[in-house]
Amino acid sequence: MDKTVKILLIEDEVITAMSLIMDLKKHGYPNSKFASTGSKALASSEKIFPDLIIADVSLSCGESGIDVAAKISGESGIPIIITSGYEVDEIYSRMSILDKAHFLRKPVIISSLIKLIESL
């Protein structure tokens, strides 16, 4: 993926989000932003029109990162990377609503994330 892509990270753990954003920027992805809730992610997506979404499965207030990512990507085919501390069949079956989805287990290893982004 081109280094000028706009990445929207949907993550409710602020420290995790800030760390990933800093790592993405260090690896040449300066157009990386994060949102901590589904509503903030939807609002951000209308402003930045992301080329890639990275979303945690579970957000605060019981929100689903999968559902939020699905709303944002719609029929546009935006690639999505789902993250979770758990790797269970339920997550994979829930991801089936997404067109172009990939999974990374938390804690996210930045080299694996960058490799996946570059393969998209």
Q: State the pLDDT at residue 89.
A: 81
- pTM over 0.85? The answer is yes
Q: State the pLDDT at residue 107.
A: 93
The residue behind tokens 């990933």 is 20
What distance, in Å, lies between the first and last C-alpha atoms of the chain?
Answer: 5
pLDDT digits (tens, 9 = 90+) for 35-78: 999 999 999 999 999 999 999 999 988 899 999 999 999 878 89
Q: How far is CA 44 from CA 2, 34, 35, 74, 107, in A?
A: 21, 8, 7, 15, 24
Q: State the pLDDT at residue 113.
A: 97
Three-state DSSP at 86 gives: coil
CATH node for 7-119: 3.40.50.2300
Q: Which residue has the higher pLDDT, 15 or 97?
A: 15
